[in-house]
Amino acid sequence: MYTPVIDDIPETITIETGSINEIIEIYLEEYPSYHCFNKLNNVVKCGTGKLGYHIDVCDNCAETRAMANPCDNSLCPCCQKRITENWIRNRNSDLLPVPYFHFIFNLPSEISTLAMYNKRIVFDILFNAVAAAINKIPNQDNIEIGFILSLHTSGGNLWFHPHIHVCMPGIGILKDGKLKKYSCKEALPFTEEILSQEFRRSFIEQLKKVYDNKNVELQESDENNENEIETICSEDESQIKWPPELKALATDRSEFDRWIEKLENMEWRARIGDETQTDAKELIRYIGRRTVITDNEIVEVDSERVIFLDKGKERELTIQEFVRRLVIHAMPKGLHRIRNYGFLGNNVKEKKISYILGKLGKTAPKKRRK
């Protein structure tokens, strides 16, 4: 870690009033902190120099300057804004001159509760199930499509509501190298009903395998809010962690099977939006959002409460409840909330996009950033 000398003028930021960082700072000073909230200390210190410094070198003139280290926390609005803007810029450079489609896959609330306690396990299943649902018919028809999956975890009022947004260009590559165009929603190789059914089938199949393969251990949540939060935020993945309302499933396979049967009879929702071409960049910006709330959505903060905007409406929560809900959305270390598939996969994207552009009579950019 670099420590600047006296003559250096490090680039730092200050905590703004009415910001997420101010709310966290108030919480850490005024209220008892759970062990898992320790990571929030780094959010408050982000960009202030308290996490050390690094040397930034200009690519053009080789000038150097000391820069305060970021925290890279999934809850940090500053870090996530930087990552998001970089991702949006790079994805916009990958856009093809074809219609784009927006799908949304929602989990039943019963699964959302399990996901809250087992983020990495359930989110990996969620990504795999959505990808399997989208790819099933194209794979059968020997058509390679490309799509981006983006995990969002918030519903209204900061409640935990994990769902997947899909961005898919309306074009595929046939086995003989020709292109297959999807000019409108009706031309897609699947319907909402097909996607929903395959999504449910694939998710439940994977969930049953995890139940059988994991060392299932009952970890009941205490009435005490602190113990519940600690369990939710724990990154221990050696066992499935069971919320109170599902604790019977941990030790009784017949109860688990009955729960699975209930899930199989429920409606699992996959929605397909209308095609869009002129608004493709706006779609990229929307699905690229990584934070559940931004500083711009904070209306007022004092030592006891937060007023914030939720879909244009003002909501009010205590500082304690606001931070509790915020922390529940923290991502496990190393979990990728945006994933690329098919011809948009990281290892083949540049080559495949250039190929498609060539077949469309367009010139690919000379250099692409991954």
pLDDT in tens, 172-230: 999 999 999 999 999 999 999 999 999 999 999 999 999 988 755 545 444 455 567 77
> In the sheet where 171-174 sits, what is the strand order?
143-144, 171-174, 179-181
Looking at residue 5, its pLDDT comes to 41
Instruction: Name which residue leads in pLDDT, 101 or 61.
Output: 101
Q: Which of 219-233, 248-262, 264-278, 345-359 has the lowest mean pLDDT?
A: 219-233
pLDDT at position 278, please?
A: 64
What pLDDT score does 33 carry? 65
What is the three-class DSSP state of 247? Answer: helix
Map tokens 């694939």 to a residue.
Answer: 202
The answer to whether residues 270 and 105 touch, using CB atoms and an 8 Å cutoff, is yes
**Contact predicate 173/343, CB 8 Å:** yes
Are residues 145 and 138 in contact, defined by beta-carbon separation less than 8 angstroms? yes
103 Ramachandran zone, left/alpha/beta (phi>0; psi -120 to 50): beta
Taking residue 280's Cβ as centre, other Cβ atoms within 10 Å add up to 22
pLDDT, tens digit (0-9, with 9 covering 90-100), for 65-79: 888 888 888 888 889
Q: For the segment 276-329, what is each residue's pLDDT rounded down to a tens digit?
A: 766 899 999 999 998 899 899 999 999 899 999 998 899 999 999 999 899 999
What pLDDT shows up at residue 45? 87
**Cα radius of gyration rounded to whole Å, the chain:** 23
Whether the predicted pLDDT of 370 surpasses 50: no
Taking residues 25-46, report their average pLDDT. Answer: 79
According to the model, what pLDDT value does residue 8 have?
A: 47
Q: What is the signed CA dihedral for 196, 201, 203, 206, rounded to 10 degrees?
A: -170
What's this model's pTM, rounded to 2 decimal places? 0.88
User: Which pLDDT score, from 0 to 100, does residue 9 have?
Assistant: 42
116, amino acid identity: M
